[in-house]
Amino acid sequence: MTVAVTGASGFVGVNLIQALLAEGRPVRAVIAGEEERRWLDGLDVTIVCADVRDPGAVRAALAGAEVVYHLAGIISLQPDDWPRVEAVNVRGVENVVEACLANGVRRLVHFSSFHALVQEPKSLPLDETSPLITTPDAPPYNRSKALGELAVRAGIARGLDAVIVCPTGIIGPNDQRPSYFGQTLLDLATGRLPALVAGGCDWVDVRDVVAGALAAEQRAPTGAKYLLSGQWVTVPDIALIVAQFTGQPAPRLVLPMGLVRRVAVLNEWVSRRQGNPSRLTRVSMEELSGNPQVSHARAVRELGYQPRPFRETIRDALAWYAEHGMLAHPPAGN
């Protein structure tokens, strides 16, 4: 009754594995290379190295698994990153689907993203009926996640039992590397962020995403899709919450989105010349300008999904960073 997890060493992967082990389930952790083993230290799992771009390696890695959670993917904020993300986020999904079909996997739980959805019109909430992005000029990551979903749908049409979960912006504890926004939280907590952007996003706790995915595995009908969202919060409001927990004053300068978009163009050019990918890009600014209404009503209704309060997520994330030496002091207060 083995559960295989691709992308096992990532932020969501490690949290998911911990939850699976807590249920007493044997886990096969599929990672891209030996260097990723360090993120799984202390976890009682069987580790298999297999690049999802290699069909044969994926098929061998998933052989004998009853359930597969497919998390392996590349998150990119760069506007010119299509070849890299397409190879993993689209072709890699196709390889996983083929491997699941060939190996007789009982159920595939595929992790997509709310970024795969068309955000307009913003007067209406995003839900599971919102259309997928199809335009070639969309940000590479967003487009790749939409095409990955379509690859899973094609597998379902061929008899694959699969369900799809679409988290929003994921934050929370156990963020080892850290994630893009995890680094932003650390920058806020240590006073390394000189200014803020007047944008926001729907943020969800990684533990709630894991709980939603586990419930989808157990309870969802074949082909079902669930948005796993939390709460839409602006970057300035997040900075104030971090300041309340850490005592580090929030940056007073809040830049309008229009100005930051123009700065991002120049920043991308400088970053490319330096060979140092930046978090300040046109893509990241687009993600902070998305639809503020993301409905998780279906997940609540069918999975019993209940995302926790946002402040609790920030507090627990900061506490985890402090416990693991990434912050000097744990958060104080409530």
Domains of the chain, CATH where assigned: 3-176+202-232+292-308 (3.40.50.720)
Question: How far apart are alpha carbons 106 and 104 in whole angstroms?
Answer: 6
Question: How far apart are alpha carbons 12 and 170 in whole angstroms?
Answer: 8
pLDDT in tens, 194-212: 999 999 999 999 999 999 9
pTM of this structure: 0.95
**Tokens 């969202």 label which residue?**
229
Task: For residue 248, report the phi and psi dihedrals to the nearest 5 degrees.
Answer: -80, 115
pLDDT in tens, 264-312: 878 887 777 777 777 888 889 889 999 999 999 999 999 999 999 999 9
3-class secondary-structure state, position 321: helix
pLDDT in tens, 235-256: 999 999 999 999 999 999 999 9
**Rounded to 10 degrees, what is the CA torsion of 133, 135, 138, 140?**
80
Indicate whether 1 pLDDT > 90: no
pLDDT in tens, 129-163: 999 998 999 999 999 999 999 999 999 999 999 99
Residue 274 pLDDT? 76
Which residues make Cβ contacts (< 8 Å) with residue 199, sequence separation at least 6? Answer: 234, 235, 257, 260, 285, 288, 289
The burial class, CB within 10 Å (0-12 / 13-18 / 19+), for 311 is middle
Which residues make Cβ contacts (< 8 Å) with residue 172, sequence separation at least 6? Answer: 15, 205, 206, 207, 313, 316, 317, 320
Indicate whether 334 pLDDT > 70: no
pLDDT in tens, 25-67: 999 999 999 999 999 999 999 999 999 999 999 999 999 999 9
Token pair listed for 62: 């998933």
Token pair listed for 10: 């990532």
pLDDT in tens, 87-131: 999 999 999 999 999 999 999 999 999 999 999 999 999 999 999
> Do 127 and 121 meet the contact criterion of CB atoms below 8 Å apart?
no
Token pair listed for 305: 């999904």
